[in-house]
Amino acid sequence: MFFASDNGGPVPQAVMDVLAEANNGYAPSYGADPLMDEVRSRLRDLFEAPEAAVYLVATGTSANSLALATLVQPFDTVFCTPCAHIHEDECNAPEFYTGGAKLTLVEGGDRMTPDALRAAIEGEGNRGVHGPQRGALSVTQVTERGNLYDPDDLRALCDLAKGYDLPVHLDGARLANALIALGATPAEMTWKAGIDVAVFGGTKNGLMGAEAVMIFDPARAWEFELRRKRGGHLFSKHRYLSAQMAAYLRNDLWRDLARAANGNAAYLRERMAEAAGLRLVNDAAANIVFFEAPASLHRHLQRSGAVYHVSGDPKGGQDAPLTGRLVCDWSLPRDEIDRFAALLPGM
C-alpha cells in the first residue's frame, strides 16, 4: 500500500524497450542523438510550438532552477506560493541557480489567486533600488496540495504577471496529470495561457528521471544550454534521457500513465467517501488525495502497512485531526487500494 509519492514506482515496459532500442552502437553525445531529434519534434507538435527550444534534464529541481535562472536576474524576486516545491523542497536550488534571487511568497495557500498575486507584486518592487526587483511568476500545475488551475485560471495569473512585464514559469512535474484531469491541450495550458517556460515532467509519471523544459521563446535557449552545462546537467550519453522521453511521447504513453494514475486516485477517493471518520480535503481530479483524520486512524493505517505522509501538529493528542497525503502512481494495483479502503472505519 504505497501512497508515499509518485516517485517510488517502476517504469513501464515501453520505456525499457526504447532504452534497449537506444542502446545500440555509437550515438552522438550531448543531445545530438537522433532520439532527441524525435523528442524535439514530438514535443513541438504536442505543444503546437514549432519554434520552441526543447531540453531534457534528469530532475525536476534542475528543470525548475535552470528555467528560473534563465528568466530572472540575481537581484530579482520570483513570486510563488508558500507551498511551492521551489520554495519548500529544493534546498535553496532556485536561489543557487539564479545567483541569489529571492522567492516572494504569495499569501493564501496552495492555489494562487490573482488578487493575492497582485498584492504580492504590489508589495514588492516599490522600493526602487533598495528592494528586490519583480522578476518572474512561478506557478505549479498540479499544485503541491493536489489542486488544479484550469486554463482560464492560468491565463488570469499570466495576464496579471504580463501587466508587470514578468515572465512566467510553470512547474509541471505533474503537468500530464493536470492535462488529463482537465482535458486541456498542452498548448492551452502553457503558452496560450501566457507561460514562457514550462517543465513537462516525466519522472513522476513513469520515467526513470527525465523532464522536458519547453522554452517558448527561443531567444532564451542558448543561455539555458550554458546554464544547464554549468550546472552539470548536460548528459554526455544523452540518448538515455532521449529514449525515456521518446517512449513517453510515442503512442501517447504519457496520457495512458497519467490517466491510470488519476484513475487510481479517483477510485481511491470514491472508496474513501464511503468510509466514516475522515474528511476528504481536496476534490481535484488529479492523482493526489488529501484527507483529514484523527491521529489514531493514521497510526492504525500506517501500522497496517499503508505508506504515506502525514502533516499537522503531532502533539495534538489521539483525536487531533492530521492531514494525510495519498499519492497514486500509474502502477498502483487496485487491490492495494481495496486493502487500504478495507482498513478504514465503517468499511
For a copy of itself, give the closer residue by CB, 237 or 299.
237
DSSP conformation letters of 267-315 = HHHHHHHT-SS-EE----SSSEEEEEEEHHHHHHHHHTT-B-EEES-TT
Q: Rounded to the nearest whole angstrom, what is the least distance from the CB of residue 342 to a copy of itself in the complex?
A: 19
CB of 283 to a copy of itself, least distance (A): 26
Q: Which residues, in sequence order, are CB contacts of 62 under 8 Å at separation 6+?
A: 93, 211, 228, 231, 233
What separation, in Å, do the N-terminal and C-terminal C-alpha atoms of the chain show?
17
Min dist. Cβ of residue 276 to a copy of itself (A): 29
Task: Please say which residue, 107 or 217, places its beta carbon nearer to a copy of itself.
Answer: 107
Report the candidate in 326, 239, 254 with the shortest Cα–Cα distance to residue 12: 254
**Alpha-carbon separation of residue 231 from 10, 62, 98, 317 (angstroms):** 27, 8, 11, 46
Task: Name 137's bridge partners.
Answer: 79, 168
* Of 58 and 137, CB closest to a copy of itself: 58
- Measured from the CB atom, the residue of 237 and 279 that comes closer to a copy of itself is 237
State the nearest-atom distance from the C-beta of 288 to a copy of itself, in Å.
Answer: 15
Cα 5 from Cα 85, distance rounded (Å): 14
| Cell of residue 231, nine digits | 550546472
Nearer to a copy of itself among residue 74 and residue 263 (C-beta): 74
Q: How far is the CB of 93 from a copy of itself (least distance, A)?
A: 5
Q: Which is nearer to a copy of itself, 109 or 231 (CB)?
A: 231
DSSP letter string, 112-175: --HHHHHHHHHHSS-STTSSPEEEEEEEESS-TTS----HHHHHHHHHHHHHTT--EEEE-TTH
Minimum distance, C-beta of residue 88 to a copy of itself, in the bound complex (Å): 6
